[in-house]
Amino acid sequence: DSGVTQTPKHLITATGQRVTLRCSPRSGDLSVYWYQQSLDQGLQFLIQYYNGEERAKGNILERFSAQQFPDLHSELNLSSLELGDSALYFCASSAGSDTQYFGPGTRLTVL
């Protein structure tokens, strides 16, 4: 158990819908990272927050957004969902710039 929690574990929704994925980092970790794992793209970095502020952005679509709250938990919002958004979404956390520990992931299925 890495200490990073993600909810929900599975999510099934329809095209065009909007979903929110939640992540709680390890106790004391200020950085949260979001990654997407899909069959065709592999593991791709989406976005990073550090103590509530956006720190780095990767291949994140404009339909996707994230935020980190004062209690350090983070949410990834995915809207206008398409079939191709079906993937495993991972959250990771780190104390600062060091080792990232990953949560169990949220499996999103868009029908």
The residues of the shown chain that bind another protein, judged by CB under 8 A, are: 2, 31, 33, 35, 42-43, 45, 48, 55-56, 58, 90, 92, 94, 97-105
Q: Which residue, 44 or 79, is less far from another protein as judged by CB?
A: 44
Note if the bond before 25 is cis, omega within 30 degrees.
no
Edge-to-edge strand list for the sheet holding 5-7: 5-7, 19-24, 74-78, 64-68
Cβ proximity to another protein, 43 vs 111, nearer residue? 43
3 or 16: CB nearest another protein: 3
Pick 2 or 15: Cβ nearer another protein: 2
Q: How far is the CB of 105 from another protein (least distance, A)?
A: 5
Q: How far is the CB of 16 from another protein (least distance, A)?
A: 28
Q: Which residue has the tokens 């709250």?
A: 69
Amino acid at residue number 9: K
Q: Give the shortest CB-66-to-another protein separation in angstroms.
A: 14
What is the smallest separation between the CB atom of 95 and another protein, expressed in angstroms?
11
Three-state DSSP class for 27?
A: coil
| Of 103, 96, 94, 91, the residue nearest 45 (C-alpha) | 91
Tell me the three state secondary structure of residue 34. strand
